Amino acid sequence: MKAFSALLGLLLGTFTAVQAQGVFLVIDHTRPYTELYMFPAYMSGTIQFVDGTTYKGQLNILLASSTLCFLDEEGQPDLFTDKSQISAVLIGRNYFIPLLGHYIQILDTDGHVMFGVEQYLELEAEKRYGAFGREEKSPNVPIEKRNLRSEGFNVETGGRMLAVESTPYTVHQNAYLIRNKKAYALNHKNFKRFFPAKKALIEQFVAENTVDYSDPDKSLLLFKFLTSGQ
């Protein structure tokens, strides 16, 4: 894990470009969830497990339930669903940690506090289906479970088939301050809490700039200002 932490410090110097494109993905809501990934293609990456072992391979993250995907020895996609075994994931030059039940991308850190974003799709609640595929309300009809492993993957990202699944979903995109494996809301109070020696700088930045803490792009600018040594 120490090696990953050192690598994180080196990678964070490349994140200045995020200011131009925004911290969140632009998601095409007309596409089925099986086509929506964190990256347009699988990339070389490393999974760091909590027991200290690692796995290197071609990785991506399916936004549905924030699911880590990898290509097996035959180049076919598969899922690694147990986040409790993972301490960190590196995909290309993008660093993630499992937190709040999802993979949160770390965009900056001063070594103590991190600025991270989560992006995932929440699939429509599981339904009961009766004869002819009609939805049933009766509790006597068993629930049909969602199975990401068998519902198909996007052929353009290395998958077996183009899914025709059109399950509705809700997009969730949030940003946090993170310390000691806990996530905190972006607000004035928490910035002063985690940067107690820089309260004057915070007030200076807020006075000179329009800071909307509900806008993660502007909050990230403040975070970078505080961690840049100014």
Residue 111, burial from CB neighbour count under 10 angstroms (0-12, 13-18, 19+)? exposed
Q: How confident is the model at residue 3 (pLDDT cuts 50, 70, 90)?
A: low
Burial code (b: 16+ CB inside 10 Å, e: under 16) for 77-105 equals beeeeebeebbbbbbeebbbbbbeebbbb
Quick one: DSSP state of residue 70? E
Given this model, what pLDDT does residue 59 score?
97
* Beta carbons of 173 and 119 less than 8 angstroms apart: yes
Distance CA 174, CA 186 (A): 10
Tokens of 218: 């502007």
Residue 129, burial from CB neighbour count under 10 angstroms (0-12, 13-18, 19+)? middle
pTM for this entry: 0.78
Distance CA 126, CA 74 (A): 32
The larger pLDDT score, comparing residue 149 to residue 61, is at 61
Question: pLDDT exceeding 70 applies to what percent of the chain?
Answer: 72
Tell me: the pLDDT tens digits for 26-72?
999 888 888 899 999 999 999 999 999 999 999 999 999 899 999 99
